[in-house]
Chains A and B, each alone.
Chain A
Amino acid sequence: MKKALALVLAAAMAFSFVACGGSGTSTSQSTAASGGTSTSTASTGTATGDASGGKVYYLNFKPEQADQWVELAAQYTEETGVPVDVVTAASGTYESTLKSEMAKSEAPTLFQVNGPVGLAAWKDYCYDLSDTELYKQLTSDSFALKDPDDPNKVDGVAYVIETYGLIYNKALLNEYIAKDYAVIEDIAEINNFDTLKAVAEDITAHQDDLGFAAFASAGMDSSSDWRFKTHLANLPIYYEYQADGITSTEAIKGTYLENYKNVWDLYINNATCEPTMIGSKTGDDAAAEFAMGEAVFYQNGTWGYDQVKGYEVADEDMGMMPIYIGMEGEENQGLCTGSENYWCINAKASEEDIQATIDFVEWCITSETGKTGLKDMGFVCPFTGFTEEFLPANPLVTAANEDVAAGHKTVDWCFTTMPSEEWKNGVGAALLEYAQGTGDWSAVETAFVDGWATEYAAANG
């Protein structure tokens, strides 16, 4: 009797084990089909569809456009039958998601790097794009990312060009100009740091009367600190490269750090909040302050339009001016334009998958549907096929184009040569401590100059 009971128990156990195994397999199949990460996934693939047998797995960097990519992928699958999986990494987790996805047997076939420094880690995974339409249709060779060891190999191709500067609210600025204490008579007079400083400080002095602040909060939360530790830091680096006639360096000198300090002081002392409060301010906070008309200036780029549109600030009231840091002849300085979004194709994928991926991206940048899709995502794409009608309706893009038309000299994105994320974090932490009064400016200088040398050595040594 007991023996029988034990047998039944054992059988039940074994059965449930088999059942578990069975359901386990089916789950893993379904996750595989849906692209399989914890982030938002979508499968448009049909199991039987395509002729060549290749498939595309795109690991998307931009969460803002996640749904639109899925839609575009669905349209492609409908037209060609080739399955395209789009997986979007959550904001700020692209590198870690890529690292774990690449280790899988179903690795992404299409991924992106953020420039030469990002490429250093992934260059062995980059397929040579020099024979593809992707490279041939680039409007400028400078948008291609060449292999550091082989100048003829194209590792990555920029697919979206972005511009940043000081976004400003024309209506509020004109409201200020209308006051009798205003130090300028026209917005166009702000074409150098001194005027910008005078205006910002005057707005702060009359904040109670005006009802708004000069700058949106310079938040140092991780959702916002890149605006200063990366984008603002670009300017002193750019000018140093210009002065030395170089495009990258293993040791930065920090020639223009004083200018960096001046702008940072201006930002934190004339903002919507006290400098001691920026540690908790987020990117959303700053965007909201600008969108609700609480601040005149807001340092961000063309991608920020989606976040601020449709509130208090009308589209025609949005303008963008260069970030002046007090350089000689900066009246002719333009906005900062470049890319940190380079498409790369996984060289370790199977040949069919590589071909399918090339076909997909070529379709994106040449077909009517593909180009419209990219335009709807708000991208300015640097390919010859993107004529006037494929430019997104974005007043900040218009402002960027006007800036170029006005003959201003565009500032390059030198921040793609910053030695590592660790360097940026070091500078960001020092900036924060300086702002809240717990650290000196010399700590920023140390993080900037010494940090560059150590991080460069660590990354390339």
Chain B
Amino acid sequence: MERAVKKYFAIFALPTLIAFVIGFIAPFIEGVYLSFCEFTTITDAKFVGLKNYLRVFEDPTFIHSLWFTALFTVVTVVLINVLAFTVALLLTKTFKGTNLFRGVFFMPNLIGGIVLGYTWQLILNGIFGLFDRTLTYSASYGFWGLVILMCWQQVGYMMIIYIAGLQSIPGDLYEAARIDGANSRQCLFRITLPMSMPSITICTFLTLTNGFKLYDQNLALTNGQPSDMTEMLALNIVNTFYGRNGWEGVGQAKAVIFAILVAILALLQNRMTRSKEVQQ
């Protein structure tokens, strides 16, 4: 059977491959090419060499949004994973209504980013309104607003992954540990955590890239206000490309830098957490 299927490898792989080339490879290559061009519409591009890349680093908003995004990513990766893991631990205990709780925690993830952003904008502005302030009052309001929003949205999703991981840990490990006299704290750090490394790899990867690529929520919640101080990388790129005439190529160059950066970070993270995984 396997060998027979292998024979028709091309027929099985071709549709996806074609879709991948049309939908990803070709635009990516064109995108990289365009980052070396000046253009108004992508059909009349003129090659200008490295000029766009030089202009990227002269743009203070890009550097600011880079650091802002980095800080945001660090904070959300830690918070989301700690919270999700804790919730998952709680909801793998046997008590009434765990399924209901799992459902409730997961639900925010089903709502789109733009809707979430506007909903939270209303909630947060409603609270700030009591003190005659708004989200735009200071960049730190926007920052923590975004953090709360992201946690609320993603904790449920990561929780599901952690639950699946926790449930696959064989019960006899705990049994053996308990016979040897291990307390619950030792069980958590010596068994549960090491055995959950595959889930942690997945979840840190997802939260890391989600944090870096964040766009919809940022657009809807603060749109960069005040004074572009809460503008994250993806929003900065879009605003450069579409918001400023003559800066299309610079926006493109930023996007290329952004893609490389995310790829490097994701690879590093993957290598780091992978090395801690244990074989069952």
Query: Which residues of A does B touch, CB under 8 Å?
Result: 2-3, 5-7, 9-10, 13-14, 17, 20, 95-96, 99-100, 102-103, 117-118, 120-122, 124-125, 220, 222, 274, 276-280, 420-422, 425-426, 429-430, 432-433, 436, 438-439, 458-459
On whether the beta carbons of A420 and B244 are closer than 8 Å, the reply is yes
Q: Considering the chains assembled together, what is the distance between the CA atoms of A426 and B138 in angstroms?
A: 16
| Number of A-B contacts defined by CB within 8 Å | 110
A107, closest chain B residue (CB): B41
B90-130 residues with Cβ-Cβ distance < 8 A to A are: 121, 125, 129
What residues of chain B have their CB less than 8 Å away from a CB belonging to chain A?
A: 1, 4-5, 7-8, 11-12, 14-15, 40-44, 121, 125, 129, 132-138, 223, 225-228, 242-248
The answer to whether B42 touches A459 (Cβ under 8 A) is no
In the complex, A118→B245 CA distance in Å? Answer: 8
Contact B137 A6, beta carbon cutoff 8 Å: no
Are A420 and B136 closer than 8 Å at their CB atoms?
no
Q: Which residues of A contact B225 (CB under 8 A)?
A: 220, 279, 429, 432
15 sample A-B contacts, Cβ–Cβ < 8 Å, listed by A number: A6-B4, A7-B8, A13-B12, A13-B15, A99-B40, A102-B40, A117-B245, A118-B245, A280-B129, A429-B225, A429-B226, A429-B227, A429-B228, A432-B227, A438-B226
| B134 contacts A121, C-beta separation under 8 Å | no
Interface residue from B42, B134, B226 paired with A280 (Cβ < 8 Å)? B134
Residues in B with CB closer than 8 Å to A420 are: 244-245
Known: A95-B242, A276-B133, A432-B226. 8 other contacts (CB 8 A): A6-B5, A6-B7, A6-B8, A20-B15, A102-B41, A220-B225, A279-B225, A280-B121
Whether the pair A421, B244 counts as a contact (CB closer than 8 A) is yes
Interface pair B8/A10, CB less than 8 Å apart:
yes
Q: Is B226 touching A433 in the complex (CB atoms < 8 A)?
A: yes
- The reply to whether A277 and B226 form a contact with Cβ atoms under 8 Å apart is no
User: Smallest CB–CB gap between A199 and chain B, Å?
Assistant: 25
Docked CA distance A313–B232 (Å): 43
The answer to whether A436 and B40 touch (CB under 8 A), given A6-B7, A421-B244, is no
Which of B8, B14, B136 interacts with A436 by CB under 8 Å? B136
Q: How far is the CB of A18 from chain B (nearest CB, A)?
A: 10
Q: Across the interface, do B12 and A10 meet the contact criterion of CB distance under 8 Å?
A: yes
In the complex, A125 Cα to B44 Cα: how many Å? 11
Residues of B within 8 A of A433 (CB): 226-227
Determine if A3 and B244 form an interchain contact, defined as CB atoms under 8 angstroms apart: no
> Contacts A6-B5, A14-B11, A420-B245; is A103 near B43 (CB within 8 Å)?
yes
Give bound CA distance, A92 to B11, whole Å.
46
**Interface pair A438/B138, CB less than 8 Å apart:** yes
A10 near B11: Cβ-Cβ < 8 Å: yes
Q: Shortest distance in angstroms between A388's beta carbon and chain B's nearest beta carbon?
A: 40
Contact residues in A for B125 (Cβ distance below 8 Å): 280
- Taking the closest CB of chain A, its distance from the CB of B27, in whole angstroms, is 12
Q: Which residues of A contact B40 (CB under 8 A)?
A: 99, 102, 121-122, 124-125
> Which residue of the partner chain A has the closest CB to B125?
A280
Complex: chain A residue closest to B61, CB-CB: A422
Assess the A280–B246 pair: CB atoms within 8 A.
no
Give Cα A432 to B228, complex, Å: 12
Q: How far is the CA of A260 from the CA of B258 in the complex (A)?
A: 40
Expressed in whole angstroms, the Cα–Cα distance for A277 and B128 within the complex equals 9
Q: Which residues of B contact A438 (CB under 8 A)?
A: 137-138, 226
Contacts A13-B15, A432-B226, A438-B138; A3 near B4 (Cβ below 8 A): yes
Q: Which residues of B contact A426 (CB under 8 A)?
A: 227
- The smallest C-beta distance from A233 to any residue of chain B, in angstroms, reads 16
In the assembled complex, the Cα of A4 lies from the Cα of B238 at a distance in Å of: 52
Task: Report whether B245 and A121 are in contact in the complex, using a CB–CB cutoff of 8 Å.
Answer: yes
- In the bound complex, CA of A420 to CA of B134 (Å): 27
- A208 to B41 Cα, complex, angstroms: 56
Q: Are A17 and B245 in contact (CB under 8 A)?
A: no
Which residues on the A side are within 8 Å of B136 (C-beta)?
A: 220, 279-280, 432, 436
Interface centre among A20, A120, A222, A436 (most CB of B within 10 A): A436
Contact B11 A13 (CB under 8 A): yes
On whether the beta carbons of B1 and A5 are closer than 8 Å, the reply is yes
The reply to whether B244 and A222 contact each other, CB–CB distance below 8 Å, is no
How far does the Cβ of A278 sit from chain B's closest Cβ, in whole Å?
8
Which residue in B4, B121, B132 is a CB contact (below 8 Å) of A2? Answer: B4
Write the nearest CB–CB distance from A229 to chain B, whole angstroms.
12
Chain B residues positioned under 8 Å from A429 (CB to CB): 225-228
- A414 vs chain B, min Cβ distance (A): 19
User: Given A14-B11, A96-B242, A103-B43, are A277 and B4 neighbors across the interface (CB < 8 Å)?
Assistant: no
CB distance from B43 to the nearest CB of A (A): 5
Q: Are B132 and A277 in contact (CB under 8 A)?
A: yes
Residues of B within 8 A of A99 (CB): 40-41, 242, 248
Contact B8 A280 (CB under 8 A): no
User: Once bound together, how far apart are the Cα atoms of A13 and B5, in whole Å?
Assistant: 12
Chain B residues, CB < 8 A from A278: 134
